[in-house]
């Protein structure tokens, strides 16, 4: 039917058959096209190369090649692909490293069926999604200056990267770092949502960011958002 929404094409990578089967049933029942499955990271890279999915649901811990390395390779080959990391472990260094390589979302496997399907649709639009309790912990760790285990060393020279932004774009990035949506940003800054989207797009282009997930990491790495939630 003309004008009908094209469903996201998803690839499921998990070493547990029951998990893959369950995710396939959940997503298919909600109108998402599951184009393939992979039982480890090596298969995930190969299948992503063959099938060119819009979204990859990627388990962190898999044999032969873990999900982080598989995601890194997939995104290097297919930068338009979106990777949604799934795990039973809410460990901070997994979150940080997943975002640093370009993953667009991070969810625990205990999410509801509706939340899982919504997450796939959300990251397919170019937005980012993190499980709220993981995001809160990550933000608190960055804000307090505590280094997540396994994360690259933070530097204080990075803020020079932000000099390309206008004062308004810095303001928008600060609010992005605090987790505000476009609708919330528009209300906070008394702007139209369209104007906010334009600012966000320009920020991403100037800073070479894939999505909001990387914007959150950058805001805390540079100290743009400080422990109390105040601005630099």
Q: What is the pTM of this model?
A: 0.72
Residue 159 in this model has a pLDDT that exceeds 80: no
- Write down all domains in the chain, each with its CATH number in brackets: 9-140 (3.40.50.2300), 156-221 (1.10.10.10)
Q: Which residues contact 227 (CB under 8 A, 6 or more apart)?
A: 143, 144, 145
The DSSP letter of residue 225 is B
Give the model's pLDDT for residue 111. 85
192 within 8 A of 186, measured Cβ to Cβ: yes
Structure tokens at 164: 């390309």
pLDDT digits (tens, 9 = 90+) for 4-47: 578 999 999 999 999 999 999 999 999 999 999 999 999 999 99
What is the pLDDT averaged over residues 210-223? Answer: 78
Residue 174 in this model has a pLDDT that exceeds 80: yes
Give the model's pLDDT for residue 1. 47
- To the nearest 10°, report the CA torsion of 71, 76, 82, 83: 10
Q: Which residue has better confidence, 125 or 78?
A: 78
pLDDT digits (tens, 9 = 90+) for 46-72: 999 999 999 999 999 899 999 999 999
What is the pLDDT averaged over residues 199-224? Answer: 84
Please report, rounded to a whole number, the percentage of residues in the chain having pLDDT higher than 90. Answer: 45
Distance CA 100, CA 7 (A): 27
pLDDT digits (tens, 9 = 90+) for 179-196: 777 888 889 899 998 999
């Amino acid at each position: 039917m003309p004008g009908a929404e094209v469903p996201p094409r998803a690839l499921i990578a998990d070493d547990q058959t029951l998990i893959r089967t369950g995710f396939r049933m959940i997503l298919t029942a909600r109108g998402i096209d599951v184009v393939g499955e992979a039982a480890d990271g090596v298969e995930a890279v190969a299948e992503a190369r063959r099938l060119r999915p819009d979204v990859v649901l990627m388990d962190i811990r898999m044999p032969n090649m873990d999900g982080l390395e598989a995601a890194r390779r997939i995104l290097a080959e297919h930068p338009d692909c979106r990777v949604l990391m799934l795990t039973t472990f809410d460990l901070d260094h997994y979150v940080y490293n997943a975002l640093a390589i370009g993953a667009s979302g991070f969810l625990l496997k205990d999410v509801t069926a509706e939340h899982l399907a919504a997450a796939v649709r959300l990251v397919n639009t170019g937005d980012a999604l993190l499980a709220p309790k993981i995001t809160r912990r990550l933000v608190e760790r960055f804000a307090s200056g505590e280094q997540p285990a396994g994360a690259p060393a933070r530097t204080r020279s990075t803020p020079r990267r932000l000099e390309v932004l206008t004062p308004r774009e810095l303001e928008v990035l600060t609010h992005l770092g605090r987790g505000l949506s476009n609708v919330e940003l528009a209300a906070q800054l008394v702007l139209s949502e369209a104007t906010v989207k334009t600012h966000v797009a320009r920020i991403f282009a100037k800073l070479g960011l894939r999505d909001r997930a990387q914007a959150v990491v950058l805001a805390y790495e540079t100290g743009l958002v400080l422990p109390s939630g105040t601005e630099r």
